Structure 1
Amino acid sequence: MDLPDFRPAPNQGGDPGLYEIENRALDPRGLVLDAMRRAAPWAGRTLLDLGCGSGFWLPGYAAEASETIGVEPDPRLVPLAAARDPRARVLAGSAEHLPLPDASVDVVHARFAYFFGAGAEAGLAEVTRVLRPGGALVVVDNDWRAGEFADLLNALPHATAHEHGRHTDTWWAERGAERTEVMSDWRFDSRTDFESVLRLEFPGHADTWLTAHPDALGLTYGYLLFTVRR
């Protein structure tokens, strides 16, 4: 499948093994997963994990859903996801190009895979096409205004937290999305793993943060969930 909109992610695509460690450290209390489940339960339903990467979340989804589908644009990651769990079907595709029929999915998750916002209308339209009436899209995004992870984001040469948050909130509100804040954390088993992941995500200034927090095995992490119902 030709995916002209695809841009490879430097973190997971560049080092899937290290990104696996990052995924294991995410949200250890399951607060984000609980919020996703409350927003759009998937037990006994058809769930699409959009941008499923190497398939880390597929087994958990497949344990509850009647059918689990992963869609991933990175050709390096598709075979890894396909080998993750035999209960999940994995397809090459992207938010703008979903290889699925109209009205064939009940719940779509986009977890740190496709950051919807201005200019991403084509992806949202395509997701809407494959959702059944009454279905829902749940997007998990970073909260740029809360938590230590947000402090690191705001040190990047991007828009300020206020500007980024305001534009993101406005874009979703215009599309009737429900907005949910979740404060959670990253927790690693070793300092070595934590340092490696932080340098993967913030290669320019991770060392400054790590030097200032010499005993840390994680950090506080704010999430935003945006839910759009069909």
Structure 2
Amino acid sequence: MAFDDFIPSGNQAVNPGVYDIENEGIDPEGTLWRALVEAAPWTDKSLVDLGCGAGWWLPKYSDAAELYGVEPDETLLDIARGRDSKAKILHSSAEHIPLADDSVDVVHARFAYFFPHPTYDVSQGLREVARVLRPGGTLVVIDNDTVRGEFAKLLKVSVAAERQGENTYTRQWWAEQGAETRAIMSSWEFQSRSDLESVIRLEFPSEVAENWLAEHPERTGLSYGYLLHIWVKPGA
């Protein structure tokens, strides 16, 4: 089945193994994770990982009462299904969530679908999330901060990242939807230099990646800013 809103990712769809390494290096101090829990606790609740990809984060939600992974890329579904037997993996997309109205408490979208931009309309996906959330339920979108941190500096010189939009427009769009945006400063930190190199080369065009690596020959990590867009369904 094909979905009109689906654009294959340029990272995990290309190399799921390296993308796992990337996920392992995310947020070693737990700053982002604590912010996610604070924004919308999911213990004993139902949670949707929207755009779950290969499912690396699914086991992290083990204390949810119900767990769903929604993913449009057929090549990643079997990997996701092998991550956590508790999770129900659904081949679908942000605009077509195969769950009942008012049936879930929390939706996380981690670098998936919600990239507001003057030339991309993501409002249909928000309407679909609103449909499946219970009144008072929360959507938390994990996005890149394109201003703060070393990762943001790499984004600014990477044409491949243009689709992710720019902070000013992104913040304005979410504010117009009634969402709160929180800036979280964290980092990437990898177990080895080779792991860092493989991830930087996966995420950025060759010239950008090689220039940065040459300028930082001893590094195994970098600072990384996130934006959390938090939208609560009215009516609780």
TM over 0.5: yes
Q: SS of 1:27's equivalent?
A: coil
Q: CA RMSD in A?
A: 1.4
Q: Which residue of 2 aligns with 1:58?
A: 58
The residue identity in structure 2 corresponding to 1:215 is E
Per-residue CA deviations over 1:178-228 (Å, capped at 9, x if unaligned) read 111110000001111100110100123111011110100010000000000
Q: Which residue of 1 aligns with 2:231?
A: 228
Q: Within 1, Cα distance between the matches of 2:33 and 2:140?
A: 11
Q: Which residue of 1 aligns with 2:199?
A: 197
TM-score using structure 1 length: 0.95
Per-residue CA deviations over 1:143-184 (Å, capped at 9, x if unaligned) read 01100000000012366x9x8111001000001111111100
Q: Which residue of 1 aligns with 2:38?
A: 38
Q: Is the 8 A contact 2:54 2:76 kept in 1?
A: yes
Q: Which residue of 2 aligns with 1:17?
A: 17
Q: Which residue of 2 aligns with 1:130?
A: 132
Q: Which residue of 1 aligns with 2:92?
A: 93
Q: Is the 8 A contact 2:158 2:205 kept in 1?
A: no
Q: How many residues align?
A: 227
Q: Which residue of 1 aligns with 2:113?
A: 114
Q: SS of 2:166's equivalent?
A: helix
Q: SS of 1:176's equivalent?
A: coil
Q: SS of 1:77's equivalent?
A: helix
Q: Which residue of 1 aligns with 2:143?
A: 141
The residue identity in structure 1 corresponding to 2:27 is D
Q: Which residue of 2 aligns with 1:217?
A: 220
Q: Which residue of 1 aligns with 2:3?
A: 3
Q: SS of 1:95's equivalent?
A: coil
Cα deviation for residue 29 of structure 1 reads 1.4
Q: Within 2, Cα distance between the matches of 1:109 and 1:64?
A: 15
Aligned residues with identical type, % of pairs = 54
Q: SS of 2:199's equivalent?
A: helix
Q: Which runs of 5+ in 1 are unaligned?
A: none
Q: Within 1, Cα distance between the matches of 2:195 and 2:171?
A: 33
Q: Within 2, Cα distance between the matches of 1:175 and 1:153?
A: 25
Q: SS of 2:88's equivalent?
A: strand
Per-residue CA deviations over 1:62-101 (Å, capped at 9, x if unaligned) read x211011100010010111011111111110110111111
Q: SS of 2:74's equivalent?
A: coil
TM-score using structure 2 length: 0.93
Q: Which residue of 2 aligns with 1:76?
A: 75
Q: Within 2, Cα distance between the matches of 1:31 and 1:104?
A: 29
Q: Is the 8 A contact 1:71 1:92 kept in 2?
A: yes
Q: SS of 1:5's equivalent?
A: coil
